[in-house]
Amino acid sequence: MGTPSILSAREHSPPSSSASPVARSQSPAQSAQHEPPLLSESISRARGEVELENLRTEVQNQRQTITLLVSEKMTLNASLERLSNIAASTSGYLKIRDDLKRALSVGASNLEALLKDEQTASERSRERVLHLENEAQKRSATIGELARKEKAFEDKCREQVRNHDI
């Protein structure tokens, strides 16, 4: 913020009648060099007041900026706190999810092992059933053969008894 230029008092006041035509024809810069001490002091005071007002405005702007920055910092801190809480709760959920995955993985591995064991046991049982069915067929065939031989033997015995009785 620059200091506004202050016009000399001569430019603000009406020309005096006692001034010589030479003084009136001088430029404002030349006439400012020849101003009386009171006028120079007034100009200096006016410039000081303008500078003071500019400084006050600048201080007020800086205060407003500081207030705005403090408010923004508080807002950002609150947002950061909320995000930290969300991150903390999210990490809790992620830990639970990972624990469940591990448990399911272990459970799945255990289930796979149990399934494999059951499949092996089932295959053994099937083989045993086939073996027993083969044994049953062999024994049935043996029983059938024995039953036929028994009948033949009984028939032979009856015939011998009949031959003996005759």
Q: Per residue in 77-122, pLDDT tens?
A: 999 999 888 887 787 788 888 888 888 888 778 888 888 999 999 9
Q: Where do we find the tokens 């950061």?
A: 80
Does residue 150 have a pLDDT over 90? Answer: yes
pLDDT at 71: 93
Percent of the chain with pLDDT over 70: 78
The total of structural domains in the chain comes to 1
Residues 6+ apart with CB under 8 A from 8: 28, 31, 32, 35, 39, 43
Residue 10 placed within a domain: no
Here the tokens at position 143 are: 């029983």
Domain carrying residue 76: 37-119+121-130+132-143+145-165
For residue 36, report the phi and psi dihedrals to the nearest 5 degrees: -70, 155
Q: What is the DSSP letter of 19?
A: S
- R_g (Cα) of the chain, nearest Å: 61
Q: Is residue 26 one of the residues assigned to a domain?
A: no
Burial of 47 (0-12, 13-18, 19+ CB in 10 A): middle
8 domain residue, yes or no: no
Residue 34's pLDDT is: 58
More confident residue, 126 or 100: 126
**19 belongs to a structural domain:** no
Cα–Cα dist 95/136, whole Å: 60
Q: Domain for residue 106, yes or no?
A: yes
pTM (two decimals): 0.35
The 10s digit of each residue's pLDDT in 19-50 is 444 444 444 444 445 556 788 888 888 888 99
Does residue 7 fall inside a structural domain? no
Residue 144 — φ and ψ, nearest 5°? -60, -45
